[in-house]
Structure formats: structure tokens, C-alpha cells
Structure 1
Amino acid sequence: MKGYSEKPTRVRFKVLVFIFVSVVINYMDRSNISVAATAIGKDLELTSVQLGLIFSAFGWAYAALQIPGGVMVDRFGARLTYAFSLITWSLVTLLQGFTKGFVGLFGLRLATGAFEAPAFPTNNKVVTSWFPNQERASAIAFYTSGQFAGLAFLTPALVTIQHFLGWRGLFITTGAIGILWGIIWYIFYRDPTQHKKANKAELEYIKEGGGLVTPANEKGEKAKFEWGNLKEVFIHRKLWGIYLGQFAVNSTLWFFLTWFPTYLVEYRGLDFLKSGFLASAPFLAAFVGVLLSGFLSDFLVKKGVSLGIARKTPIIVGLLLSTSIVGANYVDNTSLIIMFMAIAFFGNGLASITWVFVSTLAPKHLVGLTGGVFNFIGGLASIVVPIVIGFLAQGGSFAPALVFIAIVALLGALSYIFLVGKVERIKVAQKPDSNLPM
């Protein structure tokens, strides 16, 4: 590359693979409960109401602790925070294999959500540190694709593990994998300036492109939480634009994570095996969508297109495509139903690079906290959407529920169009006594 006396290393891409694997493990430990649900219900003699409460437990704790999770990564850094999060959520996953009843399992699912809370704010912190603006959307798309890859490709593996080891063996196995990976993360991950294999040319390349290669607190002191920081991440209109947009993106996602198989079987009359096969198609479509989104966005940046257009276009187009889910209300052919679902989830994947706006807009010293608020509001969809859909579908028709998902997606697109505005980092006035340089 021009301008460097030595060729920049590419350590950042190895770091990105680490994040991808962490996201796959993250979603493996979210989805293992759905694979084991039937066997758990029979073995522990749980009612459908109790199973529903167990399903929701993760979302309540996960959403509630997003802001503390963001504060944690700002204060303790990505290396320690992610290792702690991985090992603790994996430990409670493993312990689920020994539970004896509803109370124990419910509590452990709450703990899983609580300990996973810092994960995505940490993902974003790492990418903001390691990647320049012109590569960041692709990086975010790559690690985000891990959630769709995990759901599409790991489900058969989880089913196989349960077939041979039972549901208890499933939790023990997946938990042990996560604990091992948490140890590997702590041993090998370093921030850019502390990584021995990242040369000066790579660090300069990242820094010149807007990457935060050094902590906002240059002195290496732990960032102190201040209530004024919390106020700061709530008072900007552009941040509310991405918060509401994330709720819309997650609303479509949580429909597919919770109600989609039930929709196919109970409301469309498909048999369980056939629905399981067909259900993978939208996840594969979303996987393609998120990868395409990141590469397209960064391609536009490199071609000189404004950052606002390059970043917003895939997200807005994706959210608008997600509204096509309502088309399933007007067809009866199975192939057409799946087609509309796949288009909608492809759009959801296309819109899933939303984390790039946290990296781009957040005040430098509040990237973790902004990510926590962003993921907190987005995480509310995991609570709201399943409940609202259940209410709308109780009359025997699923059509109102699909209209609801489409409307939320449309509102998400409008939030990016009218609220986000100019894409530039928010600058916070420096306090005279502050030790956090801007």
C-alpha cells in the first residue's frame, strides 16, 4: 500500500475470525433450548406455560443488562469482558444439563441472558478498534453472519448431539465448548496497540481510516462511569434513529427465532419434518443478505460514495424488503409462502449491519455504552414481539401478526430516513476536569 515504508500486516482479519466464532457459539447457546424443548418438557413434566416462561427468561435478562454490559466493556476492555462473558454464560449453559425442574432451568436461562449481555457491545468495540471505516461494514457483516450461519447450519448438529447424548448431554457439550473458547479468547486476544503481530503500518492504516486503535482514555486508566454519560447517549436524535431501527430489525429476527416454525405447522398445515427443512431457507437467505450488505456498503465507500448513502442504503432497502412478509397473507402455495418469508429475511440480513452506526456515530469514549443502549432497545423486541404475535394470532388467523411485523419494519426504515441525518461522530464537549481526552 502507498504511504507505508512496510507492508501493513493483516492481524485484524484473524481477530475478525475470533469474533465470528464467538457469535456462532453465542447463538448456539441461545438456540439449544429450542432443540431440547420437547424432550425437556416431557422429562421435567413442564406445561406449555412453563416452557413459554423459560423461553422468555433469556430475553428479559439480556435486554435489561445491555447498558451495564456496555459500561463493562468501556471500563474493563474487550479482552477481559469477552472472556468473562463467554466463560460464565457457557458455565450456566453446562449447568442446565443438571437441572431438576422448572425453577432451576428458569433461573439458569435468566443467567444465560445476563452473562451474554456484554457480548455484542464487545463485538462492536473490537471492530471499532481494529477496522477502518472503509472496511468496517464488511467486518460487522461477517461477524453478524455468524448468527445466521449458526442457526442455519448448527441446528442439525445440535439435533444429532441430543439424539446420541440426550438433552442433558446437549447442554453439557455446548457449555464445555464455550468455556474452552473463552479461555482461548483470553489467551490470544489483544487490543491493536498491545498485539505483538500487528505492525506499525497496520495500526496507522486503521487509525487513518477512523479506527480507534487506542483507548479513549490514553493513560490506560479504567474509564469511570458517570450518569452524565448515560444522559449523553439518550439525548441525540441520530442515536434514537438507530435505536428504533434496531428494534425493527430485531422484530423480524425474533419472529423467525420464535413463531416461524409454529406458523408453518399450525397455521399453514405443514408436517413437522417438512417445516423443519423449509425453515432453513429464510435463514440461508438472511446469511447471504448480511454478507452482501457489508461488502456492498464498503464497496460504495471505497468508490467515493458519501458515508451516509453507503451505510444507510442497504439498511433502508433491507427494512423495506422485510415488509414483503405480509405477502404470505395472500398466497396458499407453500413455495410462494416460503418465497415471501425468504425475501423478508433476506432483507433482514441486508439491514443487519446496523452496528456500523454505533461505531460511526457514538462519542469516542462511549462506544461501549452506546452499543449497550442500542442493543437494549433492540433486545426489547425479543420480549415484545413474541407476546404481541401471540395476542394477534389467538383468533386463529396469523395474518394480523404478519401485518404487525411489516409495519414495524417500515417504521424502522423511516427512522433511518428521517432521524439519523448526517453520518458523523457525535462530539461531546470536554469537561475541564475530565481525564478522558476527546
Structure 2
Amino acid sequence: MNSGGTLRWKMLALMLAGTVVIYVDRNVLGVLAPILKKELNFTTEQYSYVVSSFQIVYSFSQPVAGYLTDLIGPRLGYAVAAFVWGLAAALHALSTGWVSMAGFRALLGVSEAVAIPTGTKMSTIWFPSKERSIATGWFNSGSSIGSMITPPLVIWIAAAYGWRPAFFLTGGLGILLSIVWFWLYRDPEVHPLLSAAERAYIEAGRTPTPEVKPSFRAVLSRTKFYGVVIARFLTEPAWQTFAFWIPLYMVSVRGMDIKQFALFAWLPFLFSDLGCLVGGYLAPVFHSRFGLKLVNARLSVISLGALFMVGPALISFAANPIVAILCFSLGGFAHQMLSSMMYALMGDVVETADVATATGIAGMFGYLGGALFTLTVGALATTIGYEPLFALLFLFDVVAALVLWAFIGERAARPVTQPAQ
């Protein structure tokens, strides 16, 4: 069937741009962590409190954000959230110590909680099922792109003007995004530029669902959904580690200064970006070329990603800082390959009307897992070192893949045997 147009890809590009801005605003803290520890007298443990204040508030805000996204739609909710998170990001510049910084991080967590539920909702309503993994791979790649451009951008601003302007200027991106999103985005049902042919293509590739209000009860009644919840809890610590602990580790343990780190900091996130895209396109290949059911094709990509997460487990064997960066790069590629597929799975385990709500609930448990791991790193990094903690990320992802197969994997029906005559 002819796709009839490209408007859905333009909406996806807008979502991708929003995700880039989110992760720029979110990752400024991690990039500046070595500077902030000196300027504001953080200890490593206090830094973990600042990071976890975002993670904990973000986690509990996601179910509410997801429900509101399903209820009022992505256009208004995302626009308001972008304005608030841009303001919160800019306010970081007013911090006088770790306590005030933690407060601004909490405000950032409340507002950014709308991000992933909106992206998952948008890819579900704008794309047929066979293209959903590609769409989620592209919008999720914004997290890697944002994380990749943040170190050189922020370190340059900080070197030229100071760390406070770095927060002010990047926060302004969120406010600008708010205006652009509200101006350009519409759902497919009301978009005036969506052609009849493209509308038919999108609707033909989706499972028809009745128009109902989103429901927490409907989501929580689905057994398969709990597989996603457990997997998110286990896998989210990896991305939180890449975002908030790599700069501190490379400077404090591997001996890089902040400018040297900026030269190589983008590599793990470049590989993460590739992981998003490779995973998104690999699932349809497994489905069409090898005859796997679509759900099993997505799970196969997740399993490959889990195995490739061996990179962070090898950090302790890295002979020099560059090899350590490459180990993180393999981990970033692996994690984003499996992460994108878990977002794509959401439309397979719940109804379309509940996609953002379900994504929010799963995200809550994911970020709780990330917060617990962050606090663990803050408490133990100075005693047992970072490397054993990084090695746990590989184990977490392998267990997560096994859990998903157990809960969601589709098994072939047994052939009916005729009784002997």
C-alpha cells in the first residue's frame, strides 16, 4: 500500500528535535559535575543526591504525565511542559550549593516527565505497527544526539562565559521548543495537512481500538505489561550512568581534564544514536527476512542489545582512557538498541488509548531503578571503585531480556495431533 505522504515523518522530526533539547537540558549537570564539585563544594555522595532528586521526582511524575498526555493529547501537554523544563534548567544557574541545585533538578524532573510518554504516544498514533520500531528508534535517538552535543557545547560556553551562563543558555532552548511545538504539532485526526491517502495508510496499519478514556486499571490488568515494568527497572540504570557518571569517572579516576574529556565525550552518544537506528531497522528485518513474529523480532533486538552491554563490564580492563571511552561507547550502542525496542513494545502490550499512561508507569519504575543505582554509586564509588558497579549493568540487561521473553514472547501454537485410528 502506498504511504500517501510524508507528514508523519515531519511530525517525527519535530518530536526528535524536542528529545534533543530535553537531553541537552538534562545532561548539562553531568558535563559540569567536575566543575560544580569544586565551585559548590559537592562531595561525590552529595552529587548523587542531586542526580537522584531528578530521578525520583521524574519517576513518580511519569504516570501522571502519561495519563494527562492520553487524556488531553500531546500538543498542549508537551508545550506547557517544555516551557516549564526550560525555565527549570535555566534556574540551575542560581544554585548556591547542592541543596538548591537538587531543588531545581526536582522541578526539571516534574516537567520533563512528559517526554517519553509523549514520544511513545506520538509514534503509536502517527505510524502503522510495522513502522513503529523505526519511529521509536528515531525519536529515541534524540536522547543520544542531545547527550552527544552537550559536552562540547556546554564546556565551550563554560570556558568562555562560566558555568552559570551554560545553564541559562541551554534552558532557553526548552522555552523556544515550547513555542515551536504548539505552533506546528497536531494529532493525525485533526491535522489539516494530512492527506487522505496517508491517513488511510496509517489507519490500515494499526489495530483498531474503540475511543475510550485512558485507564490505569486497564494498563495494570495486563500481565504482559509487568514484564516491561521489570525490564525498565533493570535497564534504566545504564543510561543514567552514561549521562551522569561518565564525566566524573573520566576526570576523577582516568585523569582527564574537562577540556580533554570534551574531545571524546561525544563518542558514547554517537554510538548510542547508531544503536537507536540499528535497532529500529533491525526488528523489521528479523520480521520479514526470518519470519519472526513482530513481537519476537523486537525481543530479539533487545536480546542482542543486552549481550552487547558487555562493554561497561570490561571497563576495569581498559588500559587507557580512550579504551575506557570505547567500552562506554559499546554500552551506549547496546543500551539504546534495546531501549528503543522497549518503547516500541508498549503498543503491543496495551491499547492505543493507554500507551502514554503505560509508558509513564513503566518509566516510573525505570527511574526508580536509576535512582537506586545512582545512590549506590554515590555511596560505594569511593570505597570499592566505579568499575564493579559498571559491570553490574551488563547483568541487569541480560536478566531484563530474559524477563521480557518470559512475559511477552509469543510462542508458536502446538499442532493439533489426530488420535490414532
The 10-residue stretch of structure 1 (279-288 or 189-198) with the greater mean CA deviation from structure 2? 279-288
Q: Is the 8 A contact 2:235 2:393 kept in 1?
A: no
Offset, 1:43: 4.8
Stretches of structure 2 that go unaligned for 5 or more consecutive residues are 412-421
Which residues of 2 match residues 71-220 of structure 1 at below 5 A? 71-210=67-206, 216-217=211-212
One-letter identity of the residue aligned with 2:237: S
Once residues 181 and 117 of structure 1 are traced to their aligned partners in structure 2, the CA distance between those partners, rounded to angstroms, is 16
1:431 equivalent in structure 2: none
Give CA deviations for 1:350-391 in whole Å, capped at 9, x if unaligned.
212110011222123211211111111111232011222344
Q: Is the 8 A contact 1:144 1:290 kept in 2?
A: yes
SS of the residue 1:16 aligns to: helix
Let me know the Cα RMSD of the aligned residues: 2.5
1:426 equivalent in structure 2: none
Q: Is the 8 A contact 1:129 1:211 kept in 2?
A: no
2:63 equivalent in structure 1: 67
Which residues of 2 match residues 219-234 of structure 1 at below 5 A? 223=213, 229-234=215-220
CA spacing shift, 1:342–1:68, aligned 2, 3 Å:
same
Once residues 403 and 122 of structure 1 are traced to their aligned partners in structure 2, the CA distance between those partners, rounded to angstroms, is 32
Offset, 1:25: 0.6
Once residues 102 and 351 of structure 1 are traced to their aligned partners in structure 2, the CA distance between those partners, rounded to angstroms, is 33
Q: Is the 8 A contact 1:281 1:342 kept in 2?
A: yes
CA spacing shift, 1:211–1:92, aligned 2, 3 Å:
farther
Q: TM-score, normalised by structure 2?
A: 0.88
Which residues of 2 match residues 269-418 of structure 1 at below 5 A? 269-270=255-256, 272-303=258-289, 305-332=292-319, 334=321, 336-353=323-340, 354-418=342-406
CA spacing shift, 1:137–1:98, aligned 2, 3 Å:
same
Once residues 57 and 68 of structure 2 are traced to their aligned partners in structure 1, the CA distance between those partners, rounded to angstroms, is 16
Larger RCO (alpha carbons 8 Å, 6+ apart): 2
CA spacing shift, 1:44–1:253, aligned 2, 3 Å:
closer
Once residues 183 and 313 of structure 2 are traced to their aligned partners in structure 1, the CA distance between those partners, rounded to angstroms, is 48
CA spacing shift, 1:316–1:174, aligned 2, 3 Å:
same
Give CA deviations for 1:92-117 in whole Å, capped at 9, x if unaligned.
22233344555443322111101111
Q: Is the 8 A contact 1:316 1:417 kept in 2?
A: no
CA spacing shift, 1:402–1:48, aligned 2, 3 Å:
closer
CA spacing shift, 1:392–1:400, aligned 2, 3 Å:
farther
Once residues 315 and 169 of structure 1 are traced to their aligned partners in structure 2, the CA distance between those partners, rounded to angstroms, is 39
Offset, 1:336: 4.5
Once residues 174 and 262 of structure 2 are traced to their aligned partners in structure 1, the CA distance between those partners, rounded to angstroms, is 26
Which residues of 2 match residues 232-251 of structure 1 at below 5 A? 232-251=218-237
Q: Is the 8 A contact 2:232 2:362 kept in 1?
A: yes
One-letter identity of the residue aligned with 1:409: D
Q: Is the 8 A contact 2:66 2:117 kept in 1?
A: yes
CA spacing shift, 1:391–1:106, aligned 2, 3 Å:
closer
Offset, 1:299: 3.4
Offset, 1:211: 6.6
2:244 equivalent in structure 1: 258
Once residues 46 and 337 of structure 1 are traced to their aligned partners in structure 2, the CA distance between those partners, rounded to angstroms, is 25
The 10-residue stretch of structure 1 (59-68 or 48-57) with the greater mean CA deviation from structure 2? 48-57
Stretches of structure 1 that go unaligned for 5 or more consecutive residues are 218-222, 424-438
CA spacing shift, 1:297–1:381, aligned 2, 3 Å:
same
One-letter identity of the residue aligned with 2:153: A
CA spacing shift, 1:273–1:91, aligned 2, 3 Å:
closer
Q: Quick one: percent identity of the two aligned structures?
A: 28
SS of the residue 1:332 aligns to: coil
Once residues 372 and 341 of structure 1 are traced to their aligned partners in structure 2, the CA distance between those partners, rounded to angstroms, is 27
Offset, 1:127: 0.9
CA spacing shift, 1:335–1:101, aligned 2, 3 Å:
closer
SS of the residue 1:419 aligns to: helix
CA spacing shift, 1:173–1:416, aligned 2, 3 Å:
same
The 10-residue stretch of structure 1 (293-302 or 133-142) with the greater mean CA deviation from structure 2? 293-302
SS of the residue 1:193 aligns to: coil
Once residues 210 and 68 of structure 2 are traced to their aligned partners in structure 1, the CA distance between those partners, rounded to angstroms, is 14
SS of the residue 1:198 aligns to: coil
CA spacing shift, 1:290–1:36, aligned 2, 3 Å:
same
Q: Is the 8 A contact 1:327 1:340 kept in 2?
A: yes
Once residues 422 and 122 of structure 1 are traced to their aligned partners in structure 2, the CA distance between those partners, rounded to angstroms, is 27
Give CA deviations for 1:240-267 in whole Å, capped at 9, x if unaligned.
1122222333222122122223333444
Once residues 47 and 311 of structure 2 are traced to their aligned partners in structure 1, the CA distance between those partners, rounded to angstroms, is 31
Q: TM-score, normalised by structure 1?
A: 0.85
SS of the residue 1:395 aligns to: coil
The 10-residue stretch of structure 1 (325-334 or 305-314) with the greater mean CA deviation from structure 2? 325-334
One-letter identity of the residue aligned with 2:198: E
Which residues of 2 match residues 24-63 of structure 1 at below 5 A? 24-44=20-40, 49-63=45-59
Q: Is the 8 A contact 1:73 1:122 kept in 2?
A: yes
Offset, 1:169: 1.8
Offset, 1:58: 1.1
1:421 equivalent in structure 2: 409
Offset, 1:50: 4.2
Offset, 1:335: 5.1
Once residues 377 and 33 of structure 1 are traced to their aligned partners in structure 2, the CA distance between those partners, rounded to angstroms, is 23
SS of the residue 1:192 aligns to: coil
Give CA deviations for 1:120-154 in whole Å, capped at 9, x if unaligned.
10111111110011111111111111111111123
SS of the residue 1:190 aligns to: coil
